[in-house]
Structure 1
Amino acid sequence: MTYPTDPSHDALVDELRRLRAKGLVGLRTLRLRELLDAAVACGLAAPGSVGPAGVEALVRKAVEELGGGRLGDAAAYTFGLPPGTRDWPAQDRRRRSAEIYGVGVDRFRKRYERVVLGETADAVLRLAARTAVPESTDRREPAAHEPDPSEAGTRAPPPRQVVPLSVGSRTVPITVHTCSVEMLTGIHVIVSSANTYLELAHTFTTSLSARLRRAASRKGPSGEILDDTLARELATWMSRHGRSGLTVAPGTVVPTSAGDLAQRGIVRIYHAAVVAPRPGTNHYDIDPANISLAVANVFRLARAERVDFPGLRSVCLPLFGTGRGGLAEDVSITWIRAALTAELAEDDSWEVHFVARYPRTARTIVDGLRSDGQAPS
């Protein structure tokens, strides 16, 4: 098997939800293909294995990866990992997890249990990414360049790497971070991909906007959200501009404060509307040309905001439209690169960063920045 053809996050969450319902004693009756594939990738199960031992070992390692605390403890009881809880009924495990969070069972089920399952799925993906070595028969399109010698034999890109971007007759250094966005520090502007309603993802999900929303919010001593800063400021902007309940033009970029992320040296969060919800469905449409427009508007806005925020000089971009928008990552970086090159040709004083949660995405960004390709006309 080739990782990083990672199992999708949603598929892992679905299998973890089924495991929660059955518990470890029900592993033999479940067919958890994605979890078993991840266990094989992590070296916890032999290829072709159908036994439950590898999946149980993987879930235990994933829960350990959460690092304890309320989240880790609740995850352990959710799956029946502590001694003596292996055969507990699902309702008893859920009740104990709710007690850990200090909430009722129904509230835990509707909110916190989703967080537990989502974070455990993330931990599985991190474990697989760290231990997997891409095979030479990887089905992805070949990179447009030969890898640097410094990367030869590595299992994943470094957490921070600098890539030279060709801008005319010179090169401009671009920094690519492989981490979760809330771990970034000292970058003045972080850009998030948004829908044209400028409505943020729910705080219990794992998208970039959801993570920024959680990290920027002001929280109480038990982790409860006291001020949903980004959502509040976006709603204020929409109301002030007469767009409440309506859409903005694709490519629009709206600024908010960084909320609690200011403690990490972040000054502003920019929300770039690049995906348009398709009426009457759960799907989205995206015109890749709007990605280049959004990038241009990010720098236009940043230049304008230097009046109120002197010294604003560093910007971190994501891959736009590759989540719910469904756009291929290599297509997204192609359109970003075209707009970015044009901006830096006019002013290369900007410090430009990219953030990627998974190594595969980081590699796509690096390949795209090094490529000489142009965005389609």
Structure 2
Amino acid sequence: MTYPADPSHGALVDELRRLRVEGLVGLRTLRPRELLDAAVACGLAPPGRAGPAAVEALVRRAVEELGGGRLGDAAAYTFGLRPGTRDWPAQDRRRRSAEIYGVSVDRFRKHYEARVLAETADAILRLAAPHHPGEATPDKAGPWHVVPVPIDSRTVPITVHTCSVDMLTGIDVIVSSANTYLELAHTFTTSLSACLRRAASRKGPSGEILDDTLARELSAWIARHGRAGLTVAPGTVVPTSAGDLAQRGILRIYHAAVVAPRPGTNAYDIDPAHISLAVANVFRLARTERTEFPELRSVCLPLFGAGRGGLAEDVSFTWIWVALAAELARDDGWEVHFVARYPDTARTIVDGLAAVTDG
């Protein structure tokens, strides 16, 4: 596996100029090669797997690197990064940027816009320069590891990410392990559920939570289905929006109820068979939601029950794979990811996929 050469400043400026015209909504058709390569170099996507969400994340980081002020604000409007502006016509974004500099639209176009594009390209080069991570090896899961797995007569690449779940970018559906009461972990804890809850919430300037999005939407689902204070069947999967994680290209969060709180204790019970049921229900739900979200293609799974559930990681993977292999054999339109916070957990997943491949 090789990594791309350093991006060219001139080529980056040209691609940023086209992005200014098309806006973020045009990224799926632009396919800007230099920006895609720079996103890989910055660690925003595995080699060969960068897409629109990774490019958007790259441009956002580059604009943040500009440090605010007139330059940073104008760049944010130029590319449609401000909330509510991603689908603004190019002329409206240019007009707003000109207002920030206090000049006419024509003056901004001829002088300041070129500065905005050049400075953004410089910021991308600064971000890309220190990276170029080494290829993952059998002894190191690294920030990601792509494992080619044979399914029937084809090979399916499965990506294992070693990171906090809120660092994922450009994955359509992230699946969270939930308890059968569908109650999320407290925001100050370290579980995957808590991390997603924090990252998806809308926050104020001091970091205060203004909208606890996932908790609010799960509560609404519970009320609609008459389950307040009651459990749902193990294996149930409930969808919510991604809240603020939409800024990282995440479309949906699926909450899979796989662990059952043990009454009168702080412990949980888990039947491994419910893991397979939850995985099957994840893909069943995603196929259903494609009527509203036709772009749903990629799904990221954790090792269900391997945290507070107390299930051994290799056992969790085995029961996930029972259902996952069946889903991939049925439908070749899915891109599958796993996420693990710690390298040892990622190692378990990579080893499990390798064993499937060898077997």
Normalising by the smaller structure, the TM-score range is 0.5 to 0.7
Say yes or no: does 1:176 pair with 2:149: no
User: Does the aligned pair in 1 maintain the 2:136–2:142 contact within 8 Å?
Assistant: no
Supply the distance in 1 between the matched residues of 2:274 and 2:338 (Cα, whole angstroms): 18
Say yes or no: does 1:344 pair with 2:328: yes
Supply the distance in 2 between the matched residues of 1:166 and 1:318 (Cα, whole angstroms): 21
The aligned runs of 1:142-157 (5 Å cut-off) are 151=137, 156-157=140-141
Letter in 1 for 2:137: E
Letter in 2 for 1:151: T
Superimposed CA distance per residue, residues 237-260 of structure 1 (whole angstroms, 9 cap, x where no aligned partner): 000000011000000000000000
Say yes or no: does 1:372 pair with 2:356: yes
Say yes or no: does 1:266 pair with 2:250: yes
Q: Look up the SS of the partner of 1:312 in the other structure.
A: coil
* Count, aligned residues: 224
2:299 is matched with 315
The aligned runs of 1:112-123 (5 Å cut-off) are none
Supply the distance in 2 between the matched residues of 1:292 and 1:370 (Cα, whole angstroms): 20
Supply the distance in 1 between the matched residues of 2:154 and 2:274 (Cα, whole angstroms): 27
Letter in 1 for 2:341: R
Supply the distance in 2 between the matched residues of 1:170 and 1:338 (Cα, whole angstroms): 18
Superimposed CA distance per residue, residues 296-354 of structure 1 (whole angstroms, 9 cap, x where no aligned partner): 00000000000111111010000000111000000000011111000000112101001
Say yes or no: does 1:219 pair with 2:212: no
Displacement of 1:150: 6.2
User: Quick one: which of 216, 220, 236 aligns to 2:220?
Assistant: 236
2:319 is matched with 335
Superimposed CA distance per residue, residues 209-235 of structure 1 (whole angstroms, 9 cap, x where no aligned partner): 000000000001000101100001000
Displacement of 1:157: 1.7
1:355 is matched with 339
Supply the distance in 1 between the matched residues of 2:316 and 2:350 (Cα, whole angstroms): 13
Q: Look up the SS of the partner of 2:333 in the other structure.
A: coil
Superimposed CA distance per residue, residues 150-181 of structure 1 (whole angstroms, 9 cap, x where no aligned partner): 626x5x42201111223223321101111100
The aligned runs of 1:103-114 (5 Å cut-off) are none
Scaled by the length of structure 2, what TM-score is found? 0.61
2:191 is matched with 207
Supply the distance in 2 between the matched residues of 1:338 and 1:164 (Cα, whole angstroms): 17
User: Does the aligned pair in 1 maintain the 2:141–2:350 contact within 8 Å?
Assistant: no
1:255 is matched with 239
Q: Percent identity, aligned pairs only?
A: 82
Scaled by the length of structure 1, what TM-score is found? 0.58
User: Does the aligned pair in 1 maintain the 2:181–2:230 contact within 8 Å?
Assistant: yes
Runs of 4+, deviation exceeding 4 Å = none
Supply the distance in 2 between the matched residues of 1:150 and 1:361 (Cα, whole angstroms): 15
User: Does the aligned pair in 1 maintain the 2:146–2:158 contact within 8 Å?
Assistant: yes
The aligned runs of 1:69-84 (5 Å cut-off) are none
Letter in 2 for 1:203: T
Higher deviation after alignment, 165-174 or 252-261: 165-174
Supply the distance in 2 between the matched residues of 1:263 and 1:359 (Cα, whole angstroms): 26
Supply the distance in 2 between the matched residues of 1:150 and 1:228 (Cα, whole angstroms): 36
2:229 is matched with 245
Supply the distance in 1 between the matched residues of 2:324 and 2:282 (Cα, whole angstroms): 10
Q: Cα–Cα, structure 1 residues 150 and 306, in superposed 2: closer, same or farther, change >3 Å?
A: closer
CA RMSD of aligned residues (A): 1.6
Q: Look up the SS of the partner of 2:150 in the other structure.
A: strand
2:36 is matched with none
Unpaired runs of 5+ residues, structure 2, are: 1-134
2:178 is matched with 194
1:276 is matched with 260
Supply the distance in 2 between the matched residues of 1:150 and 1:247 (Cα, whole angstroms): 41
Q: Look up the SS of the partner of 1:365 in the other structure.
A: helix
